[in-house]
Amino acid sequence: MNNELNDFFEVDIATLNPTNKLYYFNPYMIEASSNIVAILKDKEFYKIVLDETIFYPEGGGQPSDRGEIEEIPVFDVKEKDGIVYHYVNELPKNSKVKSKIDFNRRFDFMQQHSGEHALSGVILKLFGGANKGFHIGEQFVTIDINIKDMTEEMLIEAENETNRYIFENQKVDQIVTDTEGLKAYPIRKEITAEEDIRVVSMGEADCCACCGTHVRNLGEVGIIKIIKAESYKGMTRISFLCGYRALNDYKEKNDIIKSLKKELSSEESMILTKVQKQREDISALKKQSDIIRKDLAKNISLNIKADETIAIIFDDVDFLTLVHIESILLEKSNTVILATTVDNKITAVTKNDAINLGQFFKENIKSYNGKGGGSKDKAQGSFETKEEIIAFYTSLMSKIVN
């Protein structure tokens, strides 16, 4: 490490001015030069403080930026008391540094965050539902609306209206004001700050105080698509996608549909009909198979003599047939243990109060790489290999016999 940086470890953070946040002035800025003003050592990594930064820190439901400082990866960014900390695993050589953000990640968050504003504003106007929670995840965005069980019709109307504003490319203005100036804007959420209040106004779609990064015009959001809505703590949690995320989702679903068309030799409009027909055919075949299994179970059971304990390993009977055999054999035995190496499963049932099958399975099955369990008088399990089920069966038999 360059000796030039040693002094920055001694800086008192309380004496520093708040970090100049360049992303507020231009969220499209990709590179910038700045100066290190403090360095903190934290376990195996460092936290660098710059006099000004293009890196957005995690906060307000939006994840932090990623990027580089002098080609050193920045793996996290956080803010505390106006100071922005850049997390790195090594230090640059000099105090004057060049930073670069991953703009694809930044623009993705700008699309998602701006789309969230528009959708939340529209839902409030249409239905009076307020956004009580917001999160940009790696896969999709969620908002929690204080309306219980929003209907499909409400969701469609909100989605259509939001996309109308997007397609109209309504302008996004970002204004910094104080409590008095805030009175001129119809913000949808009350705030407690008194100065340096950032207001994001999106034409007719929304107006809200926010510290995130946003697009210049709603058209850059591209499109918004609601993918799921579910009940959550007396509210409705809506999951949606904007921009490139929505495009990629469409591509994936279109690829699935193309594969289904080929697999089913069907046009798109007939896919659901063909799938339903296949389900009906499968259901009918299952019923026929069950009848055959029951008949097979009866025939096999006829050749098994009654005994206090009946235990058999089959290598030509599947587990579903085994269950039918078990129910028949219980009429002539107090304990039935049946295993099959066809699908490496075991079932056991007993009328003997001295035997606790559930306890034995719980205490031993994992030792044989198996899964399963049950109650005192009935238990089942499955295994990865033939050798493992045979070993477990043998161990269970030794317990029963003794």
Task: State pLDDT tens for residues 84-93.
Answer: 999 999 999 9
Residue 227 included in any domain: yes
Please check whether residue 348 is in contact with residue 372, taking contact to mean a CB–CB distance below 8 angstroms: no
User: Which pLDDT belongs to residue 235?
Assistant: 96
- In-domain check, residue 271: no
For the chain, the domain total comes to 3
Does residue 258 fall inside a structural domain? Answer: no
Are 47 and 85 contacting, i.e. CB atoms less than 8 angstroms apart? Answer: yes
Of 33-42, 191-200, 217-226, 240-249, the poorest mean pLDDT is in 191-200
Q: Are 333 and 395 contained in the same domain?
A: yes
The chain-wide mean pLDDT, for the chain, equals 93
Domain that holds residue 363: 287-401
Through-space distance between the first and last CA atoms of the chain, rounded to whole angstroms:
71
Spatial CA neighbour of 97 closest among 116, 120, 74: 74
Q: Which of 13-19's residues contact partners 24+ apart within 8 Å by CB, and which partners?
A: 13/38, 13/40, 13/49, 13/83, 16/49, 16/83, 17/51, 18/81, 18/82, 18/83, 19/49, 19/50, 19/51, 19/52, 19/53, 19/79, 19/82, 19/83, 19/84
Q: What is the DSSP letter of 19?
A: P
Both 232 and 296 in one domain: the answer is no
Q: Residue 212: count other Cβ atoms within 10 Å of its Cβ.
A: 25
Q: Looking at the structure, tell me whether residues 113 and 182 fall in a common domain.
A: yes
Same domain, 147 and 168: yes
Of 67, 82, 101, at which residue does a domain stop? 101
User: Both 212 and 296 in a single domain?
Assistant: no
Q: How far is CA 391 from the centre of its chain?
A: 39
- Has residue 185 got a pLDDT over 90? no
Task: Say if residue 115 is in the same domain as residue 174.
Answer: yes
Decide if 380 is inside a domain.
yes
Three-class DSSP category at 190: coil
With a cut of 90, say whether residue 3 has pLDDT above it. no
At residue 81, φ and ψ (nearest 5 deg) are 55, 40
Q: Report pLDDT for 402.
A: 64
pLDDT per residue as tens digits for the range 97-148? 999 999 999 999 999 999 999 999 999 999 999 999 999 998 999 999 999 9
Residue 351's H or E segment, with its range, is none
In a domain, 276, yes or no: no
Q: What is the pLDDT of residue 363?
A: 94
- The answer to whether residues 123 and 151 belong to one domain is yes
Check residue 267 and report its DSSP letter.
-
pLDDT at 401 > cutoff 80: no
Confidence of residue 10 (pLDDT cuts 50, 70, 90): confident
Please check whether residues 84 and 130 belong to one and the same domain. no
Question: Does 162 lie in the same domain as 69?
Answer: no
pLDDT tens digits, 211-242? 899 999 999 999 999 999 999 999 999 999 99
Tell me what the mean pLDDT of segment 313-335 comes to.
95
Q: What is the CATH number of the domain that holds 67?
A: 2.40.30.130
- DSSP secondary structure code for residue 225 in this structure: E
> What local confidence, expressed as pLDDT, does residue 180 receive?
84
- Residue 356 token pair: 């606790």
Question: What pLDDT is attached to residue 35?
Answer: 96
Q: What is this structure's pTM?
A: 0.76
Confirm whether 266 is domain-assigned: no
What tokens were used for 259?
């594969």
What CATH number has the domain bearing residue 361?
A: 3.10.310.40
The verdict on 116 and 86 lying in the same domain is no
pLDDT digits (tens, 9 = 90+) for 70-81: 999 999 999 999
Q: What is the mean pLDDT of residues 154-163?
A: 98
User: Which tokens go with 364?
Assistant: 């031993």
